[in-house]
Amino acid sequence: MEIAQIVGIALVTAIMLLILRQEKPVMAVILSIVFSVVLFLFMIDKLASIIEVMTELTRRAGINYFFLSTLLKILGVAYLGEFTASICNDAGEQAVAKKVEFAAKIIIAVLALPILVAILESLLELMPG
Amino acid sequence: MQLLSEIVRNVIVIIIIASFLELLLPQGTLQPLVRFAIGLFILIAVLNPVMGFLLQDVNHTIECWNFQADMHEQEEIMQQGKKLNEQILKSNQQLLQEKVEGQIGAVAMLVPGIEEVETMVSINDQGGMEKIEMIILPESADPPLVDGKVGVLGLNYQSLSAEEKKKVEAKVRRVVKDLYGFKDEQIKIEFKGG
């Protein structure tokens, strides 16, 4: 049971974090990062299978994989941004967390912008006059 | 009817995928942006067939987002690309080989005691020089006169002595090594006529 392992690791990490935050806050941040990485590595196989199923679905529906790949990129950027921002928040660096969120927002906008422009141009062409 | 079924199919699949992805979304300030991007994709899925129907030969802006080459076509394109790449590599290697052979031959001919040099360079797949083979024609002294006439070339051909050949070989080896960075075992030198 993977969830049991994850719960176990999470509980141990939480207790260790509680202790470390009082004694050595720097170590607490490091432990938090390590826990995030370990959890991500645990989940990476499952994530790959989800993406595989979605790719197969889009292929069967005859929809361009470009749609899904861009959506996945956006989702990845959002996740990484949120993870990093929360780690920074835990470390008490709210300013850095805000900057990370800002960067993630810009990157998502850049990924979505060409599609927005294409839609707008096409709509303008559809309109009379 | 076909247009409608295409729109419905695309929208259903994209909405299912989008709602599933939304479940995976992190709860935070980035969520509205991601939802906006998903909305754009749903818009594209609706607009794409409509635009294709209304403006058949005018608009390609949206079409390019939905371009999908056939799998068989893709493989063919890839194979053609590979073939083209191999051809370019081959011709470049040949050109490189000819140039290098010419250069090395010209440099080697500057060494005293050499009349002519035939050079053969082996080039590997990465374009690196692997081996060089040189056949040297030593500079001969003027053919001696036989009964006041010039002797037939080759019969009275006076070649370098073994010691002189060794000296010439060492010089050529050093020049090629210094100029082109070859190792000793990569250079093979022979003298014409033994």
**Residue ranges making up the domain that contains A6:** 1-46
Determine, yes or no, domain membership for A84.
yes
How confident is the model over A31-37, as a mean pLDDT? Answer: 88
For residue B165, what are the CA distances in angstroms to A38, A95, B28, B155?
69, 78, 82, 20
Say whether both A69 and A35 belong to one domain: no
Q: Is the pLDDT of residue B142 over 90?
A: no
Q: Is B139 helix (H, G, I), strand (E, B) or coil?
A: coil
Which amino acid is located at B59 in the chain? N
Say whether both A9 and A37 belong to one domain: yes
Q: Is the pLDDT of residue B86 over 90?
A: no
What pLDDT score does A1 carry? 77
For residue A35, what are the CA distances in angstroms to A32, A82, A97?
5, 15, 18
As a residue count, chain B comes to 194
Chain A hits for B28, Cβ within 8 Å: 78, 82, 85, 101
How confident is the model over B171-186, as a mean pLDDT? Answer: 84
CA distance A123 to B12: 22
Question: What is the distance, to the nearest Å, from the Cα of residue B174 to the centroid of all Cα atoms in its chain?
Answer: 30
Q: What is the pTM of this model?
A: 0.53
Residues 6 or more apart in contact with residue B167 via CB below 8 angstroms? B113
Total structural domains within chain A: 2
Say whether both A76 and A118 belong to one domain: yes
What pLDDT score does B163 carry? 81
Cβ pair B61:A122 closer than 8 A: yes
Determine, yes or no, domain membership for A55.
no
Determine, yes or no, domain membership for A57.
no
Q: Is the pLDDT of residue B81 over 50?
A: yes
What pLDDT score does A23 carry? 86
How confident is the model over A68-95, as a mean pLDDT? Answer: 86
Determine, yes or no, domain membership for A56.
no
Give per-residue pLDDT as tens, B90-121. Answer: 888 888 888 888 888 888 888 887 888 888 88
Say whether both A69 and A40 belong to one domain: no
Nearest residue of A to residue B36, measured between CA atoms: A112
B166: left (phi over 0), alpha (psi -120 to 50) or beta: alpha
Q: Is the pLDDT of residue B136 over 90?
A: no
Chain A hits for B57, Cβ within 8 Å: none
Nearest residue of B to residue A55, measured between CA atoms: B17
How confident is the model over A101-126, as a mean pLDDT? Answer: 85
**Confidence label for A96 from pLDDT (cuts 50, 70 and 90):** very high
What pLDDT score does B60 carry? 55
Determine, yes or no, domain membership for A51.
no
Higher pLDDT, B133 or B1: B133
Determine, yes or no, domain membership for A54.
no
Helix then strand count (H, E) for chain A reads 4, 0
Q: What is the ipTM of this complex?
A: 0.71
Rounded mean pLDDT of chain B? 77
Q: Which domains does chain B have, with CATH numbers?
A: 2-72 (no CATH), 89-191 (3.30.300.30)
Determine, yes or no, domain membership for A128.
yes
Give per-residue pLDDT as tens, A53-77. Answer: 888 887 777 677 777 788 888 888 9
What pLDDT score does B27 carry? 74
What pLDDT score does B25 carry? 75
Closest CB to A118: pick one of B13, B61, B67: B61
**Confidence label for B156 from pLDDT (cuts 50, 70 and 90):** very low
Give per-residue pLDDT as tens, B28-58. Answer: 778 888 888 888 878 877 777 777 777 765 5
Determine, yes or no, domain membership for A117.
yes
What pLDDT score does B130 carry? 82
How confident is the model over B6-26, as a mean pLDDT? Answer: 77
What pLDDT score does B154 carry? 47
Q: Is B157 helix (H, G, I), strand (E, B) or coil?
A: coil
Q: Is the pLDDT of residue B155 over 50?
A: no
Q: How far is A35 from chain B (nearest CA, A)?
A: 17
